[in-house]
Amino acid sequence: MTVNSNVEVAWKYKAYTTLDPLPLPRKVRQTGVAALSAIAESIHLEAKVVPDLEALAQLLYLTAGITRHRKYPGGDIYFRAAACTGALYEVEVYVVCGNLIDLEAGVYHFAPAEFALRRLRDGDYRSVLSEATASETAVVHAPLTIICTCTYWRNAWKYQARTYRHFRWDNGTLLANLLAVATALGMPAKVICGFVDAEVNRLLDVDPEREVAYSLVALGRVEALAQQPPSKLSALHLETVPLSRNETVYPAMREIHAASSLNSPEEVEIWRDHALLAKHPSPTGPILQLHPYSDAEMPRDPIEQVILRRGSARKFAQVPIDLPQLSTILDRATRGIPADFLNPQGAQLNEVYLIVNAVEGLEPGAYVYHRDHRVLERLKAGNFRAQAGHLGLVGRFGNRGYRAVQLEAGILSGKLYLAAYAQRLSATGLTFYDDEVIRFFSPHAQGKSVIMLVAVGKNAKSMLQG
């Protein structure tokens, strides 16, 4: 990993200087829905649900809100609801909605520092998203769509060109929270990766050299269609506070993003009609049947509590976890993601590989998880703690498909986080050396690419405190 330490730190908040904030209600609804249920389930997309402002506030707070504050010698850090590389928070959140209870139709930016919305455009612009997504049904009937953008410099000042990888990690963990909270609120949700990039960027009035739309999530459902907005989207030229006095451009990131962009509704439709398919071979080596906790046996900690206590472990205790705990993490995190690039729903593009160091009832070694069979296939036995314990999400696709695979891996990693913390375990995302990871899991992983690594175990700090 390359860290760029000789530049000015980028400001962590996008701040509009001429727009007044619209404060959001701060009360967090207690849904009572267990986190392990919320991450594993989704609400049927046909369910007619219209969120009100209080529900929107809950979604935003538990997805991208500031949930804790810590003082360090170098300054204060305000941590947010979803895990993010370096706690740099390069993902911005926007809301496009029709008239909701207590919120007028418009295009809004979410300001986590103030826990408020700022209105960028007045009126109902949902039809712009309908056109940009080639009339994706979930978007056409959504009373509310959340758009996630990624800001290059806020992460690149430290990680340089590697930032583009972080886009999907950090957007994915955020979406894992969003999907789980939507489920807990009884709200249908669908992740949309296929859209005309330039149209969505234009709607949000972002400068694509600095900030780009990365994903959409359609929320709720109504039968009435959005009214047509003005025929031409005018540029807003809204002033924002600079992230820093100077920014360094890393062309590779913009080139990768441009190569994976879609330029017309026709391209979106073609991409969506050619569903990404991943063939996962049946196990051929020694297998172990997993036994996750049943609904009656599993921990019932509510999703709100789990999100608020989630962290990123810096050191793990050298003590084992239970096989049912690992089984439950894998089972609950991989039951499927409602997304336009996963068809049928429940399909999965990435494969999950594991290095098992200390799990009671499971021999140490390297494994691959076969979700359809709920088994682990052992690839090789042995103690590989020195090679770093991790879960590896591996896939291979090109252009927009690769962006979708990356986003799925980020969401899966976010679900792994939540499934671990729901059982009073800990997790953390890891950087990695691509070729070494593939080599380690070969020949099974030969020809694939490493997408994401997550370590899971018992937090050494909490063990000492206990």
Residue 361 · residue 422 · CB < 8 Å: no
Specify whether domain 22-273 bears CATH 3.40.109.10: yes
Omega into 283 within 30° of 0, i.e. cis? Answer: no
Domain 22-273 identical in fold to domain 287-465: yes
Compare 281 and 191 and report the one with higher pLDDT.
191
* Residue 2 pLDDT: 47
Query: What is the residue extent of each domain of the chain?
Result: 22-273, 287-465
Which pLDDT tens digit goes with each residue over 78-99?
A: 999 999 988 899 999 999 999 9
* Residue 280 pLDDT: 78
- Cα–Cα distance for residue pair 170/149, rounded to 1 Å: 11
| Residue 422 one-letter amino acid | A
Which pLDDT tens digit goes with each residue over 291-322?
A: 999 999 999 999 999 999 998 776 788 899 99
Pick the closest to residue 59 from 101, 29, 20 (CA basis). Answer: 29
**H-state helical runs in 22-125:** 35-38, 53-64
Pick the CATH number of 287-465 from 3.40.109.10, 3.50.50.60, 3.40.50.2300, 3.40.50.300: 3.40.109.10
* Residue 88 pLDDT: 92
Which pLDDT tens digit goes with each residue over 391-412?
A: 666 665 557 887 898 899 999 9
Q: Return the half-sphere exposure (C-beta side, CA atoms, 13 A cut-off) of residue 87.
A: 14
Phi (first) and psi of residue 440, to 5 degrees: -65, -40
Tell me the pLDDT of the chain averaged across its residues. 89
Whether 1 has a pLDDT exceeding 50, the answer reads no
Site of tokens 């009073």:
424
- Cα–Cα distance for residue pair 225/215, rounded to 1 Å: 22
Least confident of 4-18, 151-165, 169-183, 364-378: 4-18
* Residue 447 pLDDT: 60
Phi (first) and psi of residue 53, to 5 degrees: -65, -35
Q: Indicate the pairing of strand 391-395 with strand 351-356.
A: antiparallel
* Residue 7 pLDDT: 58
User: How large is the average pLDDT for residues 403-425?
Assistant: 94
User: How large is the average pLDDT for residues 122-138?
Assistant: 96
Q: Return the half-sphere exposure (C-beta side, CA atoms, 13 A cut-off) of residue 254.
A: 12
Who's near 323: CB < 8 A, 6+ residues apart? 290, 291, 359, 360, 361, 362
* Residue 465 pLDDT: 47
- Sign of CA pseudo-dihedral 207, 208, 210, 211: positive
Which pLDDT tens digit goes with each residue over 161-183?
A: 888 888 888 999 999 999 999 99
* Residue 445 pLDDT: 65
- Cα–Cα distance for residue pair 187/216, rounded to 1 Å: 16
Whether 62 has a pLDDT exceeding 90, the answer reads yes
Of these ranges, 186-200, 216-230, 361-375, the one predicted with the greatest mean pLDDT is 186-200
Token couple for 346: 């429940």
Per-residue pLDDT band at 345 (split at 50, 70, 90): confident
